[in-house]
Amino acid sequence: MEQKRLTLSLRGGEVPLSPIRKLTPLADEAKQRGILVHHLNIGQPDIRTPQPVLDAYRNFSADVLAYGPSLGIPSLRESIACYHQRYGHAVQPRDVAVTVGGSEAIFFALSAVCDPGDEILVREPFYANYIAFAAMISARVVPIPSSLDNGFALPSHDEIARYITPRTKAILYISPENPTGIVYDRQEMDTLRELCERFGLYLISDEVYREFIYDDHVKFTSVLDLKGFEQHAILVDSISKRFSSCGARIGSIVTYNRGVMELVDKFAQARLCPPVVGQLAADAAYRMDPSYFMPIRDEYRRRRDTLVAGLTDIPGVSFHVPEGAFYLMARLPVPDAEDFCRFLLADFSMEGKTVMLTPGAGFYSTPGSGRDEVRIAYVLECPKIVESTQILARALARYNEKRTKG
């Protein structure tokens, strides 16, 4: 009898490898050669995790580490609701689902509104994992192109409408934005709202960086600020960056839409519960005084300003000054930024040090876009950022010298 062959899923083939992590083997090799690598490639803050979060782990005192409720422990759902109430929103604990990181929040939100073949609009460049989450449920991210040339401006209502098909189910955006640092202004939010109302779309709003805004004139608008829009709005969030607790894996979905919440509840029941001690830690974090964040924001502002000053001095580098988050998309004077990123790790060092950046193309799904761009995460102390820009300047000169000679 002829035996049939094993096959793998097509969905698996559609999930991209993380552009943030794919150069990791080269970085490991550089370290083995004794080179110090400044990691500006990954959004891992170096900010100390707040003491109440660490204490929650250290003080865990139950005898049995049992399952918790699927939608999260009541105390945490309440403290997340309070967090939003402080911003003037009428969020109740029933409107909050605790998730395994912001990742699961996005995944559940997409799963609640998309079937196979459905489409999600996302302004490009975008967080690469959005493609992965969509691919895992056989849905598709449709990019709304924007460009560094005009400061990544959101296209007009009519331009965006051209990308909407009968399969479009939602617009997903993030503000402050990874990877551009853009904060959506009120007019852009109104554009998204009108599109969602006109075409019957959900607006999935990734607000994990909402506190990371560095200029007083920049006003953050939450999706929950859009009055009368409650049924469309799905907010996804995480404690990872806000409380420097990436390893806790605690996020949340906030929505007033009961139908969406009922599906999220079913998805949540299937995976039983989020990590229990991590929820206690998150609860402690949300119960801190909001003033906790002020020195952190000041520190990130200094880092941004330091990075911007350093990049301004490098010939041929252009970029949009980020208003928030801790990323900057820069165009480099090279034809293939990924090749340059490899060069930085494999063939270059300055006084025994180099820099790891993320190639920009991984944040675009339009073929060919972003090839001369890199994402720089300013998650290190200012002296290291100064040094990193010096390394970058020297490396660019050396790389282009080699390239024109070659």
* 73 phi and psi angles, rounded to 5 deg: -70, 140
Instruction: Name the residue nearer to a second copy (CB basis): 13 or 34.
Output: 13
> Whole-number minimum distance, CB 282 to a second copy, in Å?
11
Pick the binder of a second copy from 65, 90, 294, 309 (CB under 8 A). 65
Residue 363 found at the interface with a second copy (CB under 8 A) = no
* 182 phi and psi angles, rounded to 5 deg: -65, 140
Looking only at residues 210 through 239 of this chain, which bind a second copy when binding is defined by CB under 8 A?
Answer: 231-232
Pick the binder of a second copy from 25, 74, 151, 247 (CB under 8 A). 247
> Whole-number minimum distance, CB 189 to a second copy, in Å?
18
Residue 379 found at the interface with a second copy (CB under 8 A) = no
> Whole-number minimum distance, CB 29 to a second copy, in Å?
17
Instruction: Name the residue nearer to a second copy (CB basis): 18 or 318.
Output: 18
DSSP H helices in 313-367: 337-346
Residue 97 · residue 261 · CB < 8 Å: yes
Instruction: Name the residue nearer to a second copy (CB basis): 7 or 404.
Output: 7
Partners of 233 in beta bridges: 203
What is the rounded distance in angstroms from the CA atom of residue 182 to the CA atom of residue 153?
9
Looking only at residues 170 through 199 of this chain, which bind a second copy when binding is defined by CB under 8 A?
Answer: 197-199
Element (H, E) at 99: strand 96-99
Q: Nearest-CA neighbor of 25 among 342, 339, 380?
A: 342
Can you tell me whether residue 373 is helix, strand or coil? strand
Looking only at residues 323 through 342 of this chain, which bind a second copy when binding is defined by CB under 8 A?
Answer: none
Q: Nearest-CA neighbor of 121 among 175, 72, 164?
A: 164
DSSP-derived secondary structure for 308-320 = HHHHHTSTT-EEP
Pick the binder of a second copy from 146, 180, 244, 252 (CB under 8 A). 244
Residue 275 found at the interface with a second copy (CB under 8 A) = yes
Instruction: Select the span of 57-65, 145-153, 289-297, 336-344 touching a second copy (CB under 8 A).
Output: 57-65
| Rg of the chain (C-alpha set) | 22
Looking only at residues 278 through 297 of this chain, which bind a second copy when binding is defined by CB under 8 A?
Answer: 278, 281
DSSP-derived secondary structure for 111-128 = HHH--TT-EEEEEES--T
Instruction: Select the span of 52-60, 287-295, 301-309, 334-342 touching a second copy (CB under 8 A).
Output: 52-60
Instruction: Name the residue nearer to a second copy (CB basis): 46 or 351.
Output: 46
Q: Which tokens is 280 given?
A: 């206690």
The owner of tokens 């990323």 is 327
Instruction: Name the residue nearer to a second copy (CB basis): 54 or 382.
Output: 54
For helices 276-286 and 51-58, give the axis angle rounded to 10 degrees. Answer: 150
Angle (CA) 106 254 153, round 5°: 60
CB < 8 Å & 24+ apart, contacts of 118-121? 118/167, 118/168, 118/169, 119/165, 119/167, 119/168, 119/169, 120/168, 120/169, 120/170, 120/171, 120/172, 120/204, 121/160, 121/163, 121/164, 121/168, 121/170, 121/171, 121/172, 121/201
Residue 75 found at the interface with a second copy (CB under 8 A) = no
Instruction: Select the span of 80-88, 210-218, 271-279, 386-394 touching a second copy (CB under 8 A).
Output: 271-279
Residue 315 found at the interface with a second copy (CB under 8 A) = no
What is the rounded distance in angstroms from the CA atom of residue 89 to the CA atom of residue 82?
9
Instruction: Name the residue nearer to a second copy (CB basis): 9 or 85.
Output: 9
Q: Nearest-CA neighbor of 339 among 114, 26, 105, 102?
A: 26
Residue 21 found at the interface with a second copy (CB under 8 A) = yes
Residue 129 found at the interface with a second copy (CB under 8 A) = yes
Residue 316 found at the interface with a second copy (CB under 8 A) = no
Instruction: Name the residue nearer to a second copy (CB basis): 100 or 183.
Output: 100
Residues that bind a second copy (rule: CB under 8 A) add up to a total of 88
Pick the binder of a second copy from 35, 36, 44, 75 (CB under 8 A). 44
Pick the binder of a second copy from 172, 201, 374, 380 (CB under 8 A). 201
Instruction: Select the span of 106-114, 210-218, 292-300, 344-352 touching a second copy (CB under 8 A).
Output: 106-114
Residue 100 found at the interface with a second copy (CB under 8 A) = yes
Instruction: Give the contact letters, 137-176, x = binds to a second copy (CB under 8 A), - = no.
Output: xx------------------------------x-------
